[in-house]
Every structure is written in C-alpha cells, then in structure tokens.
C-alpha cells in the first residue's frame, strides 16, 4: 500500500511504513491542525508559494505557531520530493498543535509538529474524467464563517466526509454542499464552477467555499483566455439550469460534472471545461518543466 510513499517528519525522512506520530498529538486526538495538498510534476512542486501562504494563514487563524518559516518549509518539501521515487505525485503537508495532555486545552501543547507525505492521489478514474461524474446536493450543510471559516484548511473534515457518505449511499461520485441559507458552497474536496449563458461562475469564499489555489488559477486562465468569469451566489436552481459544471482542486485538478440530482448538464465535457483544462495542463508544463 505504501510502496511509493515517503514521509518527512519534523526534519527527518522516514519510510511511510515506519512513520509514526504520538497518540497524544492533538492533531490525532482532536483534529487540531491545518494542512495543504500540493501537486508536484517533474519533481517540482506546483505553485508552492501560494500553498505555503494559505497554510500560514490557516495556522494564524487557529493561533497555531508555525515551527518553520516559508523558506524552511520549501526546503522540507524539496527534500521530500527528492526522497520520493515519483516524478509526478501529491504532497500532503500537515501541521499539528503537537503533543499535549488528554483534554482539549491547546496550551498543553508546547511544540507543533510538521509531517509531509509524498504519494500518489487519483480522485477519479480516467473514464470518469472523460465522461464526467454524477453528483447530488447533500443534506449536510457547510459550516458558516462565524462557526468555522471555510478558508481555514483544518484537519477536521467530518462535514465533508458526511456529505461524501451521502454520495456513496446515492451511488454517485460526488456531493455538493450548501450553506445554511441554501446557497451553493462547494464539493466535498473541491470548488465548483458552472457556465451559464457563456459566463463562468463560482461561489465566493464567503458562501462557504475554500479559497482554492486551483480555483484561483482557473479564474486567471479564464481572464487570459477571454472567457467572462466572476464570483456569484448560486442556488440549486442555477446548477440544474447550467450549461456546464465542473469541479476544481489540487487533488481533483479539473473534473467535469455530467449530472446533478438526476438532471443532466447540457454539455459534458463542455467547451469552457475543455478550453480551461487544456490551458491548465499547459500552465503546469510551463511552470514545472526543466529549464
């Protein structure tokens, strides 16, 4: 299972099968920590500075002191990729509150811990990426910013897991979460875009969406390609009547959606998805190819 995985734990490279954290680590006990997912291609991390900046902001929101600065984190990522047998893969960067006593008080945790995992991640099959995935709108709602801001990429993913369980029970590949007002937030591990009357639309982070790196990249590619795009508050009605729908994320990359709650999209994969998917692949090649 872990043949191609390797780990960096608090300064040391460790074989994945031997990687361990303390049972008293509050990341393990309470989900008290933050993380980032980063793709690497040709042994180079894609858009790493943006990911590290978001990691720092998530940590700051939780008053979690980063034990390494950005330069040291970048070096740790480079060491992890160098130790990996993979030329292309996925990194999970985790920062936990560290070891403390039983009980939720974070003051007992004196030293945060950092773990970086390098492995493969495939969220959908090639056939699903080609044909599109089916989704439902979950009954599980995304938490509001006054409870837990969606821009904090924390280790607590139970909200998304419960929604994904609904998708499993429904026999489809993905679930879309709404916020407490019934407006669209995001997928279980990805941002959502629709195309309506030629305009690319995505919910703003204030509606419960993660401020996704791939989401922002797609918006930039749309602007560069002359595709009208903007943030917009969306409801299920907008999804049901969309010309196209697709999901974005570091793990997901770009995934077309062919059906939501039994309603088929007008096009899948649609023209805008194909244009942006090709532009995204070209950008990856441009930013990670050897000089």
Our answer to whether residue 153 is catalytic in this structure is yes
| DSSP string computed for the chain | --TT-EEEETTEEEEGGG----TTBHHHHH--EEEEEEEEETTEETTHHHHHHHHHHHHHHTT---SS-HHHHHHHHHHHHHHSS-SSEEEEEEEE--B--SSS-GGG--S-EEEEEEE---SS-HHHHHH-EEEEEEEEEPPPTTTS-TTS-BS--HHHHHHHHHHHHHT-SEEEEE-TTS-EEEESSSEEEEEETTEEEE--GGGT----HHHHHHHHHHHHTT--EEE----HHHHHT-SEEEEEETTTEEEEEEEETTEEPSSSS-HHHHHHHHHHHHHHHHHHS--
Confirm if 174 and 204 have CB atoms less than 8 A apart: no
Q: Out of 20, 53, 153, 253, pick the active-site residue.
A: 153
Query: Any idea which residues carry the catalytic annotation?
Result: 153
């Amino acid at each position: 299972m872990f043949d191609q995985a390797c780990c960096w734990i608090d300064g040391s490279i460790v074989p994945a099968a031997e990687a361990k954290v303390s049972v008293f680590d509050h990341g393990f006990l309470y989900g008290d920590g933050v993380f980032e997912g980063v793709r690497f291609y040709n042994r180079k991390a894609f858009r790493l500075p943006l990911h590290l900046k978001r990691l720092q902001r998530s940590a700051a929101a939780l008053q979690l002191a980063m034990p390494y600065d950005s330069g040291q984190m970048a070096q740790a990522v480079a060491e992890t990729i160098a130790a990996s047998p993979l030329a292309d893969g996925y990194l999970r960067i985790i920062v936990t509150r560290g070891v403390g006593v039983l009980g939720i008080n974070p003051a007992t945790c004196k030293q945060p811990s950092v773990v970086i995992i390098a492995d493969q991640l495939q969220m959908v099959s090639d056939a699903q990426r080609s044909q599109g995935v089916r989704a439902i709108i979950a009954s599980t709602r995304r938490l509001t910013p006054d409870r837990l801001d969606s821009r904090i990429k924390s280790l607590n993913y139970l909200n998304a897991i419960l929604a994904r369980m609904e998708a499993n029970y429904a026999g489809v590949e993905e679930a879309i979460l709404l916020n407490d007002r019934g407006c669209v937030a995001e997928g279980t591990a990805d941002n959502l875009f629709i195309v309506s009357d030629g305009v690319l639309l995505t919910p703003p982070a204030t509606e419960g969406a993660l401020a996704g790196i791939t989401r922002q990249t797609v918006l930039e590619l749309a602007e560069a390609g002359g595709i009208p795009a903007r943030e917009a508050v969306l409801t299920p009605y907008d999804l049901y009547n969309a010309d196209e729908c697709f999901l974005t994320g570091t793990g997901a990359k770009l995934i077309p959606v062919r059906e939501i709650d039994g309603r088929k999209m007008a096009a899948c994969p649609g023209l805008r998805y194909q244009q942006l998917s090709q532009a995204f692949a070209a950008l990856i090649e441009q930013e990670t190819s050897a000089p």
